[in-house]
């Protein structure tokens, strides 16, 4: 886990790109082929302003653990080292207006 804490209307998403590099048959695919799969991730942290939102205002606000799809070039890319392994995160803007960088939830 990282010590990055999003502020404002931001969420932190861990990219699932590393997990998707190996196909079901065990074949490792080049990262260029995986470009579109990088748009899938898991929410690992949300801004404190989203933590106490109650229904019906919580529609569209992600929670820690949610799987989401976001734009390939959305947000700010952050790479860190965890357990001697490079991990990619995205800091995304989350709002109920048209500027939202979250495209869909995976349920």
Question: Is the four-CA dihedral 74, 96, 40, 76 of positive or negative sign?
Answer: positive
**pLDDT tens-digit profile of 10-42?**
999 998 865 545 556 666 665 545 545 558 999
Phi/psi at 20 (nearest 5 deg)? -90, 5
At 45 the pLDDT is 93
Output the pLDDT for position 61. Answer: 81
How many Cβ atoms are within 10 Å of 74's Cβ, its own excluded? 17
Task: For residue 6, name the pLDDT band (cuts at 50, 70, 90).
Answer: very high
pLDDT for the residue 65: 93
Cα distance between residue 107 and residue 85, in whole Å: 28
pLDDT of residue 95: 77
DSSP states along the chain: -------TTEEEEEE-TTGGGB-TTSPBPPTTTTGGGGGEEEEEEE-HHHHT--TTTTTT---TT-EEEE-TT-SEEEEEEETTEEEEEEEEE--SSTT--EEEEE-
pLDDT in tens, 51-91: 777 766 667 788 899 999 998 888 999 998 888 888 899 99
What local confidence, expressed as pLDDT, does residue 52 receive? 76
pLDDT for 56 equals 65
């Amino acid at each position: 886990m990282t010590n990055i804490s999003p502020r404002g209307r931001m969420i932190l998403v861990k990219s699932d790109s590393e997990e998707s590099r190996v196909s079901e048959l065990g074949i490792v695919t080049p990262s260029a082929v995986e470009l579109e799969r990088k748009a899938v991730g898991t929410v690992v942290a949300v801004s404190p302003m989203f933590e106490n939102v109650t229904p019906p205002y919580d529609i569209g606000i992600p929670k820690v653990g949610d799987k989401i799809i976001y734009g390939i070039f959305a947000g700010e890319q952050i790479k860190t080292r965890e357990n001697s392994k490079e991990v990619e995160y995205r800091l995304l803007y989350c709002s109920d207006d048209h500027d939202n960088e979250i495209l869909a939830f995976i349920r």
